[in-house]
Structures are given as C-alpha cells and as structure tokens.
Amino acid sequence: MPTLIEEKTEIKKPVRLQDVARAAGISLATASLALNGRGRVSLATQQEVRRIAQEMGFEADLSAQRLATGHSNTQIGLFTRSLDLGVGTRKLQILQGLLFEKGYNAAIHSSGYYRGNQVVEHAALLRDLRRQRPLAIVVYSALLLNNAAYNELKQYADEGGHLITFDTPSNLDCDQVIFDRADSAEQATTHLLELGHRQIAFAMPGIYDDSTRVPGYRNALHKYDVPFQDHLLFNCQQATPGEIVGRQLAEDFLSCPQKPTAICIPDDIVAASFIAALYRQGISVPCDLSVVSHDDLLIAAHNFVPLSTVSQPMKEIAQAVVELLTSRIEGRHTGESRTVTLYGQLITRQSTLPLHEK
C-alpha cells in the first residue's frame, strides 16, 4: 500500500490593526485615526498608514473600528432645536438626502415644537446624542443654543467627533456654513427704496432677535438718507405657526396710525397670510402696500399675489455643509476651522410696485 502523505495547509493569521501600527511605527490610536480620517492626523501620515495597511492585506472590521474609535462610521446626527413647517425643516431634509446619497445615515434629532423654556431639554438631547458616539454632529442654528448645550457639543468635539454648524454663526471652534440674513434684509429694503418708498416697515417673525436682520434694514435706509423709525419695526410672536403670525401682523398693521407704504417680512408663509388678512379688510397688495418677503418657498411664486422675495439658497447651504464635513471625514482637510458664507438673491414678482404707481 502506498504511503499517504497529508499536506498541511498553513492558516494565515489575519492582519490586525496592531500589526499595521507596529509596521508604521505609530501608536494603535494614531493608526485607527489615520485609517478613519479622524482627529488631527496629517494627510501624509494618513496616506502612509493606508499604504502599509493595503500592502499587509489589512481588512478593517467595522465592529472593531467602532470599539477602537468609539464612533460609528456611518451615523451622523442632525440636531435642531425645533422642527418648523418652512425653510428650516426643508434645509434639514435636503441635507439628509445628500448625506444619504453618500452612504451616511443621518437622523434628525429635535425636541419638537419650540417653547421658550426648552433650553434644558436641548442640552439633555445633545448629551444623549453625544453618548451614542455618531461619526459627526451637524447643528442647525447653533446661535440659539444656551451654554449647557454648547458644552455638550464642545465635549463631543474634544472626544474626537466631527462637529459642524450651519445657518447662523456660532462661537464653537468648528467648520460653519452661514446664511447672511442681514444681507437679505438689506436687499429687500433697497428694492423698496429704489421703487421710491420711504416709509418702509420691517417685521421680525420667527425666533431670531433683531441682530440677525435689522442691521441690513438699517444699512439700506442709511444709504438712502432715510431716518430709522422705531415705530416701523413690528415684533411678531415667537413659536407660533406662520399663518397665525401673518394674521396678527395684519392686525398690528391695521391699528398703526401712520401706515407705511411698504413692508419687509422675512418669511414667505407669514407674508402670504399677512396679504390674505389685509385683502379681507379691503387693502390690496401691491396697490395699497408693497410687500417683500424672504426665502422663496414654493408659496412665494404660487400665492394669489406672487411675492417679491429674497431667496434662501437651501440646496447650496446643504451642499456646502456636506463638502466641509466629508473633507474632514475623508482626511482631505485636517487644519483650522473654516467658515463659508452664502447669500440670497432678490426675486421680483407682483407684490411690489413703484410708489408713484399706487
């Protein structure tokens, strides 16, 4: 009988992250950060570690990566204080879609309908989100957060998470995408001034204080040597649906003893409701009053009086956020925090007329 010789097959052990770190002459933590494009690891180091990992046949284990880095590779938390039925939520939806197309899961975290006393809930919600260790946290309108919420975000960034804010400026040391509302207010006011109006009112709907828009209104008046008048500022109720705010604004306007000939309303929904309420009282826009709104939502073009408005570049804002964020995640940028500022564009329709044509 011939002798059977069994060949022993050598089982090759899988390459571990520790092996890659040892070959690169760096710590395990640095190797993990380099492969994931995280932290302050230089681009040169990231490229070298990835080269070594590829040559050694290292295959990343998703579960091991999560344990090593403490962060998920695909989860991105989108945080907002509240969800509205207008431009804010629309921006979050666009951003969510763009991130989904790139393979990320971006859940929206919010405390729901805004109430003035919800500052504690915001900090608690951010604490819960931070403890979930997402790959990144994207914050909408961080200007409106209190110190407790800021501290949660700072701690998340200190722990190595990617942090970015958008819409309004913040004091956080992170990448930011800012929409310049003051410029929009200046464009809207300038349009009315160019039409010959001098008694121009300005409404402040929403949850922003006058520091975000009124400077633009003042600048436009100053350029045309038109004095600023306090009684032409209309304060609108916060945390109220825009349709109701528009009706209340109309009531305030009707009770004004010296009515302006034009008004800027930084919200298309509020402006549409305002015009409808005036119409029911026999006041016609633009024949009796010129109105410029903001945002260029669909209602602006399809309102029964199409609205002159200053657009809000929602898609461009979302695209800028995605670019800044992915450049961090992919290791294309590891330097100082960056700021991108975007501007609206005046769109003229049928809600404004020259003063002499009234």
Local confidence pLDDT in tens for the 358 residues of the chain: 444 444 444 445 678 888 888 899 988 778 888 877 666 778 888 888 888 988 888 866 544 444 444 544 689 999 998 887 788 899 999 999 999 999 999 999 987 555 555 555 788 899 999 988 899 999 998 887 888 999 999 999 988 899 999 999 998 999 999 999 999 999 999 999 999 999 999 998 654 556 789 999 999 999 999 999 999 999 887 667 888 999 999 999 999 888 999 999 999 999 999 999 999 999 999 999 999 999 999 999 999 999 999 999 999 999 999 999 999 998 899 889 999 999 999 999 999 999 976 5
Cβ–Cβ under 8 Å, residues 142 and 165: yes
Tokens standing for 164?
Answer: 């970015």
Q: How many Cα atoms are found within 13 Å in the side-chain-facing hemisphere of 53? A: 21
> Which own/partner pairs from 237-241 qualify as long-range (CB within 8 Å, at least 24 positions apart)?
238/114, 238/116, 238/206, 238/207, 239/82, 239/113, 239/114, 239/115, 239/116, 239/207, 241/85
- Residue 271 dihedral angles phi and psi, to the nearest 5°: -65, -40
Instruction: Give the max Cα distance, the chain.
Output: 118
Cβ–Cβ under 8 Å, residues 319 and 292: no
Domains assigned to the chain: 17-69 (1.10.260.40), 75-173 (3.40.50.2300), 181-313+346-357 (3.40.50.2300)
Burial of 158 (0-12, 13-18, 19+ CB in 10 A): exposed
Residues 232 and 14: their CA atoms lie apart, in Å, by 73
